[in-house]
Amino acid sequence: MTRMTRFTKGHGTENDFVLVPDLEGTLELTPAQVQRLADRHAGLGGDGVIRVVRTEHAVDDSVRALAPAAEWFMDYRNADGSLAEMCGNGTRVFAAYLRREGLVTGDSFTIATRAGVKTIRVTPQGYAVNLGPWRLTDEEGARRDGFDIMVRPHHGKPVPALSLDLGNPHAVVMLPEGIALENLDLTEAPEIHPAPTGGANVEFVRPVGPGHISMRVHERGVGETRSCGTGAAAAALATRFWSGVEDDRPWTVDVPGGRLTVTPLPGQCVELAGPAELVADGDVTL
């Protein structure tokens, strides 16, 4: 049975999403429907799909338990239809939608994700979100060796990487001299050894200057994207770790789709800031 539903298209530094309002939780998005919505040739096109729903109507008990702290749940799906814990750029687009629709008021508010409650604040450039706690996946190995896994890009050689958990998994590679960021082949997923159980986003980083890096990313379940918010945070935190100066200065992260700011916060937390734009509204048949 098909049904017509409203949608909004938005992006954060060209990491783009289809938002589907389902405020009372009556729509069960299937992986196949998500794939059709995200399809860039036969659908609306996007790196992911976000269902906008009251937290009290979430399917997962662990998410519904967050309802007292956050009225709205960002039900995020990767373009291949798989569920994801959260999406950093997606939180800002989600926030822009909530504010435009009058579903939240004020310059600071909370949202629920599968990675917990996130606090968002309005900034002159857009929105900033406290992504919450992060950690080195294997801190002992990382501090001993400087890395804990190996990554092999498509048509490339294995290079050391640092794995981080920001509510979703990441592997960050500092490109060695002689390998240009723009020449990487990210048409296929890089190989990770040892392979994480649920896969990982892989960020390739090149230093630009003090507190300033550029990166490209291959997202699990999507492919290469123009930006990845949690990936930008992971890349900045990994570079900060490698620098040996783990202070709280903000980092500038250039991605193909624009520029983001990553700021380490007290309590092993991190904030991501950048723009968010809503570009189209319409109806679509599911």
Structure tokens at 253: 């992260």
Q: Write the CB contacts of 198 (distance below 8 Å, at least 6 apart in sequence).
A: 169, 220
Give me the mean pLDDT over the 279-283 stretch. 98
pLDDT at 198: 87
pTM: 0.94
CB 33 within 8 A of CB 42: no
CB 269 within 8 A of CB 131: yes
CA nearest 272: which of 286, 258, 261?
261
Collapsed DSSP state (helix, strand, coil) of residue 66:
coil
Cα–Cα separations (whole angstroms), residue 89 to 43, 98, 105: 21, 15, 20
pLDDT at 176 over 90: no
pLDDT at 178: 83
User: What percent of the chain is modeled with pLDDT above 70?
Assistant: 100
| Amino acid identity for residue 46 in this structure | G
Segment 125-158, tens digit of pLDDT = 999 999 999 999 999 999 999 999 999 999 888 9
The residues carrying an active-site annotation are 87, 228
Structure tokens at 9: 């298209």
Give me the mean pLDDT over the 58-67 stretch. 97
CA nearest 118: which of 131, 128, 106, 127?
131
